[in-house]
Chains A and B, each alone.
Chain A
Amino acid sequence: MSEVIFGSKIMQLLIAFILVSTFMILGSTRLYSCVRAFGIQSFLLAFVAGIVAYSTGKYDIYIVALLTLIIKSAVIPYIFIYIIREIKVKREVELYVTISPSIIIGGILVVISYYLIRSISIISELSSLALSASVSLVSIGLFIMISRKKALMQMLGILVMENGLFLGAISLTNGMPLLVELGIFFDVLIGVLIMGILIFRINKTFESIDTDMLKTLIG
């Protein structure tokens, strides 16, 4: 069932756009643009969920799509923007790995994910496209976390990973049972809030949100 949907042209287009939005995060030097790209990515994911809901006719996927739209593409970006404004950080993404190598590494990660998923024979060809996009998102999210200095970007990296898993779940099995999905949304939202609190604390105590400062506990 889900394989037919994921083979359709519109779906392939959406998945391609989702990948593009991930590269927008990799390629921008402004915090705002990163947050905006994340919002777009979540919006596209909500769209994907909506199409799956429409073609399977299962109402709980509609709920998931709606929640994605509200929480991930509106509330969470808003929280980000609130934090950026409140702590008056420099609006730039400070990098350990500069933009062009970042994008090249991102590209390599996508290719690796694609071949990795292809090599697992049991996962059928059509949903493997969505799944390889999902694995790409997870690995690029991880890369964002380790290559950016600001604590905010680490938070964004985690959310990109989470989006990747969401795509994976919906492409493999039309999403998890509703109870689990609701729980995950709850955790993601609370997690973002608590990380927000932590970032405020870090900023207050260290007068910066560079994670360079957080390297005293060793051994």
Chain B
Amino acid sequence: MIEYLLIAPILTGILCFFTRSKKEVEAVSLTGSIATLVIGLILVENVYRQGVIISWTNALFADAFSAFIVLIVSIVGFVASVYSIGYMGHEFKHGIMDLKKLKIYYVLFHIFMFTMLLVGVTNNLGLWIAIEMTTLVSALLMILYTKKSSIEAAWKYMIICTVGITFALFGTILTYYAAVKILGETGDALNWTSLIAVAGQFDPTIMKLAFIFILIGYGTKAGLAPMHTWLPDAHSEAPTPVSALLSGVLLNCAMYGIIRFYTIATKSTGVDFTSNLLIIFGLLSLGVAVPFIILQEDYKRMLAYSSVEHMGIIALGIGFGGVFGIFGAILHMFNHAMTKSLMFFGAGNVLLKYETKEISKVSGIVKSMPATGGMLLIGGLAITGSPPFSIFLSEFTILSAGFLQGHIISSVLFLLFMIMIFAGFFNNLVTMTFGTPKPGIMPGEMSRWTLGAMAILVVFVIVLGVYIPPFFYEMIMKVVAVVR
């Protein structure tokens, strides 16, 4: 089962390479991403029914948490591939991309999907390898545009993330060292399934050291402050569908790495050490995001800083702990993935229409593109945590967990930052959406593909705000049981 999930995107990527026209490559890509989505959903359903699935001589495995990541990756991946047809089609029509580049884009897109799925389903804590692979592929996606700024962003991204991830490797080595002392030097001493059983006996000093390195390492990739410096560059310079994948999904994959290690480390170091670290980094990320969102001039960068903020919130949720905190954090991963992708898609439409990334030069989106504008407003309300949308629910859960667990000061700070970000973000969004569009901007939507993709995400944003289906609730509870 898991093998099929990994083969599907690889196969699609290879097939995309051998197509001969724009129509063909789009058809192959769309079919492939539907296949990946369907297999992903079947896998999630199987895990939901049977619990843990292991295959390929223990190398691949899927428990509730992996399945949850697979769910996020395959949904957003599918939607992004739908959006790509509209967005990249527009770039193709205007001669920014030629057929060769378009093909390379789709090939890399599906390989990128593969690497992210691999992060979710590797049993081995060498999931380091998969996370490094995501960096490599996405850097290539970024330099499809030969603009100076894209190349600069890609270089920074590559260098900072590779160095960060080197620290994570050191943390992994230390964890392995701790494990070897208990399990002996066997090939599976890094396997999640064998580690978790004995994690309580690991040496606390080593595990403390390991967790610090892991948090700094994967934290770099997850965009936690102060290691976030590459993120606004990379996320704003990448092609828009890729920006959505980077912000919505890839950050979650890195977070997944941190949370996996959190579970292991907590068993030996005690919960205080790990959760305090997470709370510190979480609050720092929120705090750093505030001024950059309020004073931002570039709307794609604003969205990128908002991702820094939301990763901080997830870290806070895990740090606050308890069933509530972790439940909120996991739910927030899903909600943020959907909402942030929606926002990036909307921003992509705006970018195609207005051909500028500056907030001050965009106005009247609601008049020029009513559907995009409306969905951007819904997304904007949601992403800043206003009721009755999905993110409000998860943020509220995390906040109440904070008060419940007695982290009063952190919770108050959290609330304060949230209010400031709401004001700043919304102020910028209102400038863009209302008013009259500049002369020369023709009214009309960009394409049906991009709108369709956004509409799918809006459904998630609205429905999950008022109603969490019982099976979804139960699924998250299973993830919470794995994490705790």
Q: Which residues of A contact B (CB under 8 A)?
A: 120-122, 138, 142, 145, 151, 154, 158, 161-162, 165, 168-169, 172-174, 176-180, 183-184, 186-187, 190-191, 194-195, 197-198, 201-202, 205-206, 211, 213-217, 219
Contact = CB atoms under 8 A, between A and B. Distances in A.
Interface string B284-303: 00000000100111000100
Contacts of A151: 155
A186 B129 contact: yes
B159 interface: yes
Nearest to A184: B129
A177 B133 contact: no
A197 B186 CA distance: 38
Nearest to B162: A158
B151 A198 contact: yes
B136 A176 contact: no
Nearest to A211: B155
A35 B426 CA distance: 51
Given A183-B129, A198-B139, A214 B124 contact: no
B155 A202 contact: yes
Interface string B37-73: 0000000000000000000000100000000000000
A98 B203 CA distance: 42
Interface string B340-368: 00000000000000000000000000000
Contacts of A120: 205, 209
B158 A168 contact: no
B185 to A, nearest CB: 6
B28 interface: no
A187 B172 CA distance: 16
Contact of B177 (A145, A165, A172): A172
B177 A202 contact: no
Contacts of A172: 173-174, 176-177
B166 A180 contact: no
A197 B136 CA distance: 11
Contacts of B296: 219
Given A186-B129, A214-B152, A216-B149, A176 B176 contact: yes
A3 to B, nearest CB: 12
A173 B163 contact: no
Main DSSP-derived SS at the B contact region: helix
B176 A217 contact: no
Given A158-B163, A214-B152, A180 B190 contact: yes
Contacts of A180: 124, 126, 128-129, 190
24 contacts: A122-B203, A122-B205, A122-B206, A145-B159, A158-B159, A158-B163, A161-B163, A169-B173, A176-B126, A176-B176, A180-B126, A180-B129, A183-B129, A184-B129, A187-B133, A191-B132, A191-B136, A191-B158, A195-B158, A211-B155, A214-B155, A217-B149, A217-B156, A219-B301
Residue among A173, A179, A217 with the highest chain B CB neighbour number at 10 A = A217
B133 to A, nearest CB: 6
Contacts of A154: 159
Main DSSP-derived SS at the A contact region: helix
B439 interface: no
A213 B155 CA distance: 12
Contacts of B149: 216-217
Contacts of A197: 140, 143
Interface residues of B, number: 51
Given A176-B173, A191-B132, A138 B166 contact: yes
Contact of B151 (A165, A186, A195, A201): A201
Contacts of A194: 136, 139-140, 158
Interface string B181-195: 000011111100000
A178 B124 CA distance: 12
B154 to A, nearest CB: 6
Contacts of B174: 172
A173 B180 contact: yes
Contact of B163 (A142, A169, A214): A142
Interface in B440-476: none
Interface in B177-220: 177, 180, 185-190, 203, 205-206, 209
B448 to A, nearest CB: 33
A162 B128 CA distance: 13
A183 B131 CA distance: 11
Contacts of A121: 205
Contacts of A217: 149, 152-153, 156, 232-233, 237
A208 to B, nearest CB: 12
Given A178-B187, A191-B136, A216-B149, A165 B129 contact: no
B396 interface: no
B430 to A, nearest CB: 21
B92 interface: no
A10 to B, nearest CB: 23
Given A173-B176, A176-B176, A187-B136, A198 B146 contact: no
B264 interface: no
Contact of B148 (A142, A206, A211): A206
Contacts of B59: 179
Contacts of A216: 148-149, 152
B169 interface: yes
Nearest to B146: A205
B148 A198 contact: no
A168 B205 contact: no
A195 B172 CA distance: 24
A165 B163 CA distance: 12
Contact of A174 (B155, B185, B292): B185
A191 B155 CA distance: 12
A109 to B, nearest CB: 16
Interface string B115-136: 0000000001010110011001
Given A173-B177, A187-B132, A201 B146 contact: yes
Nearest to B148: A205
